[in-house]
Structure 1
Amino acid sequence: MSDYRLLVFDWDGTLVDSIGRIVEAMHRAADVAGIPRCSDGAVRGIIGLELGVAIRALYPELDEPLLIETIRRAYSEQYLALETEPSPLFDGVQESLELFRKQGYRLAVATGKGRHGLQRVLADKGWQDYFDVTRCADETASKPDPRMLHEIARHCRVEPAQALMVGDSIFDLLMARNAGMDAVAVGYGAQPLRVLRECAPRLAINQFNELRTWLDGLGAQCALEVSDYVG
């Protein structure tokens, strides 16, 4: 096991292959509200933010609270309609998380989803008690504010330097930096690695299994250093 004790994961685009549905739901919400659709790239660029914050980032010219609430409600309804068959986990996620648990890591989720939405998808997978703690954007500060990670670390009684944030957006990586945590950028979700590397993550990966390989390597290195010291 590496020096890290706590692994914190974003949900959408990191553990679950849901980015396409998020983009489509936002497009449909714009249609319902009678406003222009943003580009796919623009929508992908706000994934990870709390929904209200994301809408304002996409449509900064909107200053009508009722219209923003219409978009919010429409997005939630459209996303649920698209999720009649829940979004699948990315390859390697299930097996890797199980191994991390067996190795003694604390596991957590820090997501831009609302609590109701996260509880729904956790229940669908039978994961209501799978993670040590989960935090959602509607019950704390939105990313990249570090409050979410500070709350998770306190709950797990782990120092920020002993925790690792894994995410697919710049908001995940900036949140980790603001919290004093290392971060891993995943390039198969909302944003490409060329963008994420600007945040100087500790590791950049294109497949989830690469995280397991890297952590195992750190654990082996730690064991070797201890052995050398004792000898």
Structure 2
Amino acid sequence: MTDYQLLIFDWDGTLVDSIGRIVESMHRAAEFCELPRLSDEAIKGIIGLGLPEAIQALYPQVREAALIERFRLGYGEHYLALENQPSPLFPGVAESLEVFRAQGYRLAVATGKSRRGLHKVLQGRGWLDYFDVTRCADETASKPHPRMLQEILAHCGVAPERALMVGDSAFDLQMANNAGVDAVAVGFGAQPLEALRAFGPRLAIEDFSELRAWLAQGAAVRTDEVGEYVG
């Protein structure tokens, strides 16, 4: 039976319903920089990366440092303005996190956001001291590099096999695999579960409360279908 000690969460699309704001902010930044407007699905496909990596993936023709910085500033200003009214938590998140804390789990965040962006949204919720540790893409390596998780594990003194990464993107699950950490795929964020199953998550869920139920069962089973646990 796997006895997890540390639960690590992606932020956007996993804990909070912010994907629409990210997509809108990327469109606005592109307009600001007079770059082509891409599809919503193309933008959802890079959510989870650090912003410089996301810009490079979406607009490989953009090489000038000044233009990249202009895009970054345009995106950040628009997104942070939207976050004056914090994005809502997904159903079941607040209650589940409180239960996890009461049960003694260590809690962490591993996000593609900048430190400035994460500070803003945590501050907006009064959560600056809520998690044991947080890591952002602009202060370490971007997903799917494992460094973000490795730093969180080192900070908490937890072995990889005692940690669980919960995320909504291929980059989250690839990062977990690269760090030797089990993963949970959520299907209500940026990418559908069909795209995430290829990375071998221990669990695939369509409602956050399913994670709480699974952990309560001992997390000793695998799943091939949403809500169906296979020993």
Higher helix fraction: Structure 1 or Structure 2? 1
* Counterpart in the other structure of 1:189: 189
Q: What secondary structure does 1:149 align onto?
A: helix
> SS in structure 1 opposite 2:218?
helix
Matched, 1:8 2:8: yes
Secondary structure of the corresponding residue to residue 135 of structure 1: strand
- 1:52 is aligned to 2:52: yes
Q: Partners in 1 of 2:219 and 2:85 — Cα distance?
A: 38
Which letter does structure 2 place at the counterpart of 1:17? D
Other structure's SS at 1:8 match: strand
Determine if contact 1:28/1:78 at 8 Å carries over to the other structure: yes
1:131 corresponds in structure 2 to 131
8 A contact 1:2–1:215 mirrored in 2: no
Query: What SS is found at the alignment partner of 2:194?
Result: helix
SS for the counterpart of 2:217 is helix
Residues 72-127 of structure 1, C-alpha deviation per residue, up to 9 Å, x if partnerless? 11011111222231101110000000000111110000000111111111111111
Root mean square deviation of aligned Cα: 1.4
Asked which structure has the greater CA Rg, the reply is: 1
State the AA in 2 paired with 1:157.
G
Q: Does 1:18 align with 2:18?
A: yes
CA distance, structure 1, for counterparts of residue 80 and residue 220 of structure 2 = 43
Q: What amino acid is aligned across from residue 188 of structure 1 in structure 2?
A: F
Match of 2:173 in 1: 173
Compute the displacement of 1:27 (Å): 0.4
What TM-score does the superposition give when structure 2 sets the normalisation length?
Answer: 0.93
Distance 1:151 1:220, change over 3 A: closer
**Do 2:83 and 2:121's aligned partners in 1 also have CA atoms closer than 8 Å?**
no
Give the structure 1 partner of residue 224 of structure 2: none
- Give the fraction of aligned pairs with identical amino acids, expressed as a percent: 69
Instruction: Please give the residue correspondences for 1:139-154 in structure 2 after superposition, counting only pairs within 5 Å.
Output: 139-154=139-154
The CA distance in 2 between the partners of 1:134 and 1:181, in whole Å, is 17
Could you say which residue in structure 2 is the equivalent of 1:225? none
Tell me the distance in 2 between the aligned counterparts of 1:128 and 1:31.
Answer: 33
Partners of 2:217 and 2:118 lie apart in 1 by 32
Q: Distance in 2 between matches of 1:104 and 1:80?
A: 33
| 1:227 counterpart residue number | none
Distance 2:219 2:142 in 1: 32
Give unmatched runs, 5+ long, in structure 1: 222-231
Which stretch shifts more, 76-85 or 66-75? 76-85
**CA offsets 1:173-215 (integer angstroms, 9 cap, x no match):** 0000000000000000000000011111111000100000000
Gaps of 5+ in 2: 222-231
User: Where does residue 62 of structure 1 map in the other structure?
Assistant: 62
In structure 2, give the amino acid aligned to 1:216. Answer: A
